[in-house]
Amino acid sequence: MLEIKDLHASINGKEILKGINLTIKDGEVHALMGQNGAGKSTLSNVLVGHPAYEVTQGSIIFNGKDLLALKPEERAHEGIFMSFQTPVEIPGVSMVNFMRAAVNAKRKYLGEEPLTAGEFLKIMREKRKIVELDNKLANRSVNEGFSGGEKKRNEIFQMAMLEPTFAILDETDSGLDVDALRIVADGFNKLRKENTSAMVITHYQRLLDYLKPDIVHVLLNGKIVKTGGPELALEIENRGFDWIKAEIEA
């Protein structure tokens, strides 16, 4: 599914990723943990092609394609979705129009006819239920006036609409109370198909309790320094990161 080799990337000339190697197979959920500034969000932004980040070395192959050669919208069409840490507001653009443009852009890329308004609204109704997103929110402008929890739920709703094969959840749990967290995580689990893979960035175990990662990585100073099973996340929850740093320095 995804194969990252020796990836180096910088923002404003400052190198953040210093040689990432990571392979994610079909159907696997990987958790990415690490302190602020370790490079977790940089890695996700590089994967989706954010223009502020420059890749200086390395390669990313996604389902056999050179991901770095694709534009951000093409990566989306190929099945990559990112749930943003802080989703941006787009005043005046209704969620309906926004999602319709997104869904039909993908269909066009895949050589399919655009959905009619009726077909589209039907799908939208179904998917809305999965994340218990209020109809009123769906009719409002994109993220405008949404609470923090509503924005995150809206991200998972968009994921439901676009049916990605690889989802990146960038601190989707931040700012969520326990109930909202459960709804978002349940929604994600319901949407997952057998071959859907995910990369989950989080500081906390509680999201992982729901999402059950297969593999946990610790990122430190732009490199993956430790990889393990779900028990690694539990250990970090109990002991923090300092013991890992000490281990490396030793």
Q: Tell me if 72 contacts other proteins by CB under 8 A.
A: yes
Binding of other proteins at residue 153 (CB under 8 A)? no
CA distance 230 to 205: 10
Measured from the CB of residue 242, what is the shortest distance to other proteins in angstroms?
34
Spatial distance between the Cα atoms of 65 and 30, rounded to a whole number of angstroms: 21
Q: Which is nearer to other proteins, 101 or 117 (CB)?
A: 101
Task: Decide: is 77 part of the binding site for other proteins (CB under 8 A).
Answer: yes
Kindly compute the dihedral angle of the four CA atoms of residues 12, 70, 83, 45, in this order, to the nearest 10 degrees: -20
30 close to 215: Cβ distance less than 8 angstroms: yes
Residue 243 binds other proteins (CB under 8 A): no
Contact between 88 and other proteins per CB under 8 A:
yes
> From CA 188, how far away is CA 132, in angstroms rounded?
12
Q: Give the closest residue to 60 by CA, choosing from 168, 160, 155.
A: 168
Rg of the chain, C-alpha, whole Å: 18
Q: Which residues contact 173 (CB under 8 A, 6 or more apart)?
A: 181, 184, 202, 204, 206, 207
Which one of 25, 109, 147, 240 is in contact with other proteins (CB under 8 A)?
109
| Token output for 158 | 């968009």
Segment interacting with other proteins (CB under 8 A) among 57-65, 86-94, 190-198, 234-242: 86-94
- The answer to whether 166 contacts other proteins (rule: CB under 8 A) is no
24/199 Cα distance (integer angstroms): 8
- Nearer of residues 165 and 244 to other proteins, judged by Cβ: 165
Among positions 92, 177, 194, 231, the unique one binding other proteins when judged by CB under 8 A: 92
Q: Which stretch binds other proteins (CB under 8 A): 4-12, 92-100, 184-192, 242-250?
A: 92-100
Pick 30 or 75: Cβ nearer other proteins: 75
Instruction: Tell me which residues in 39-68 interact with other proteins (CB under 8 A).
Output: 48-52
140 close to 94: Cβ distance less than 8 angstroms: yes
CB of 217 to other proteins, least distance (A): 23
Residue 69 touches other proteins, criterion: CB under 8 A: no
Q: Which positions lie near other proteins, rule CB under 8 A?
A: 48-52, 71-73, 75-77, 81-82, 84, 87-88, 90-94, 97-99, 101-102, 105-106, 109, 141-142, 158, 162
